[in-house]
């Protein structure tokens, strides 16, 4: 008995989706070699943001200690 193959038909929108996904894969291969921002600048921004986060946390802790308890 011969084998019967059932191939799924892809609608035109499905083909367009597959083509769009393929074009995205191709575009990621064309990324620039050097980043737009230097690593030193990125670390500086990270350190400043972390410092602000820590400062905010510490000031909230201090203000909650100095306030009278509710009730």
pLDDT tens digits for 4-45? 555 556 566 666 777 766 666 555 667 667 878 899 999 999
What is the predicted pLDDT for the residue at 56?
96
Which residue ranges make up each domain of the chain? Answer: 37-71
What is the predicted pLDDT for the residue at 55?
97
Residue appearing with tokens 């367009």: 16
**What tokens were used for 35?**
């980043």
| Secondary structure (H, E, C), 1-54 | CCCCCCCCCCCHHHHHHHHHHHHHHHHHCCCCCCCCCCHHHHHHHHHHHHHHHH
Between residues 24 and 65, the one the model is more confident about = 65
What is the predicted pLDDT for the residue at 53?
98
What is the predicted pLDDT for the residue at 7?
55
């Amino acid at each position: 008995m011969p084998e019967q193959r059932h191939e799924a038909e892809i609608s035109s929108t499905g083909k367009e989706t597959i083509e769009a996904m393929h074009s995205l894969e191709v575009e990621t291969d064309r990324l620039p070699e050097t980043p737009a921002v230097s690593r030193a600048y990125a670390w500086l921004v990270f350190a400043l943001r972390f410092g602000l986060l820590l400062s905010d946390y510490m000031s909230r802790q201090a203000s909650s200690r100095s306030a009278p308890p509710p009730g």
